[in-house]
Amino acid sequence: MELSSIIPHIEALIFASDKPLAVSDLVELLNNAMGFIEDRATEDQVNEAVNAIKEKYDSEFYSFGLFQIGGGWQFLTKKEYHKTIAQLNGDKFLKKLSAASIETLSIVAYKQPVTKSEIEQIRGVNCDYAIQKLLEKELVVIAGRKEEAVGKPLIYCTSKSFMDYFGINSSEDLPKIKEILDYEITEATKINREDNEENENPTVSDKEEIDETRVEEIKDEKPEV
């Protein structure tokens, strides 16, 4: 199978799709569309074709590019044009999640699968409204019930839309909490140490100036003979 013959078809499929397409999806769609019998496209060929398309649109001449997101590939506008295209939909386009929703979503993302009572235990408040909003926005899904718990409560997980929304491919791409905390502690210590060094440890030139000043003071204090 010639790579040049399948690249335009893969590019068209990704462009026309309203959701990210995984390589396996592209292989199936491509082979179904072109009716290959013996010379069928393989995942390796499709991966190579996708990389070629991505390299093409990575050029600064394009305002959009090919991005891996939500477990698949999708054409998206590059981030430097966000403010420009935001004008098309105004406030609706820029609407953000509430603080309560973000807190609840964060717990689900890091603790999933998790029950409502477990979320409330961490947040310390009722989460019915926040969970309902996240379900409506399709950022969270009901993944079943916790069979071993009393009452078999529903358990929640993040959805594929969650990955699309935040531009990640899986929950493994989420920043590790320990890494964030370690970074913040390191930065804080570094800043404090620099401040202390500036205040408590004079530089060589500062010491020279102090010594010279003291010499002048001693000369002034020396009694005349």
For residue 175, say if its preceding peptide bond is cis, omega within 30 degrees of 0.
Answer: no
Q: What pTM, to 2 d.p., does this model score? A: 0.56
Domain that holds residue 22: 3-83
Total length of the chain: 225
184 located within any domain: no
Nearest-angstrom CA–CA distance, 209 and 200: 16
Residues 45, 20 share a domain: yes
Confirm whether 48 is domain-assigned: yes
pLDDT of residue 40: 82
Does residue 125 belong to any structural domain of this protein? Answer: yes
67 within domain boundaries: yes
pLDDT tens, position by position, 197-210: 444 454 444 444 44
- Do both 51 and 77 map to the same domain? yes
Whether residue 179 lies inside any domain: the answer is no
d(CA 98, CA 133) in angstroms, rounded, equals 10
Let me know if residue 110 belongs to a domain: yes
17 and 78 assigned to the same domain:
yes
Together in a domain, 8 and 57: yes
In the predicted structure, residue 193 carries a pLDDT above the cut 50: no
In sequence order, what are the beta bridge partners of 75? 66
SS3 for the chain is: CCHHHHHHHHHHHHHHCCCCECHHHHHHHHHHHHCCCCCCCCHHHHHHHHHHHHHHHCCCCCCEEEEEECCEEEEEECHHHHHHHHCCCHHHHHCCCCHHHHHHHHHHHHHCCEEHHHHHHHHCCCCHHHHHHHHHCCCEEEEEECCCCCCCCEEEEECHHHHHHHCCCCHHHCCCHHHHHHHHHHHHHHHHHHHHHHHHCCCHHHHHHHHHHHHHHHHHHCCCC
Give tens-digit pLDDT for 87-106: 876 555 556 788 899 899 99
Residue 194 lies in a domain: yes
Q: How crowded is residue 87: how many other Cβ atoms within 10 Å of its Cβ?
A: 9
Q: State how many domains the chain has.
A: 3
Rounded Cα distance between 68 and 75, Å, is 9
Q: What is the pLDDT of residues 50-85, one digit of tens each?
A: 999 999 999 999 999 999 887 889 998 888 888 888
Residue 57, number of CB atoms within 10 A of its CB: 17
Q: What is the pLDDT of residues 6-53, one digit of tens each?
A: 999 999 999 999 888 999 999 999 988 877 556 788 899 999 999 999
pLDDT of residue 177: 63
Answer left, alpha or beta for residue 120, where phi above 0 means left and psi between -120 and 50 means alpha: alpha
153: domain CATH number is 1.10.10.10
Does 108 share its domain with 74?
A: no
Q: What is the pLDDT of residues 136-192, one digit of tens each?
A: 888 899 999 988 888 889 999 998 878 777 777 776 767 776 655 555 555 554 545
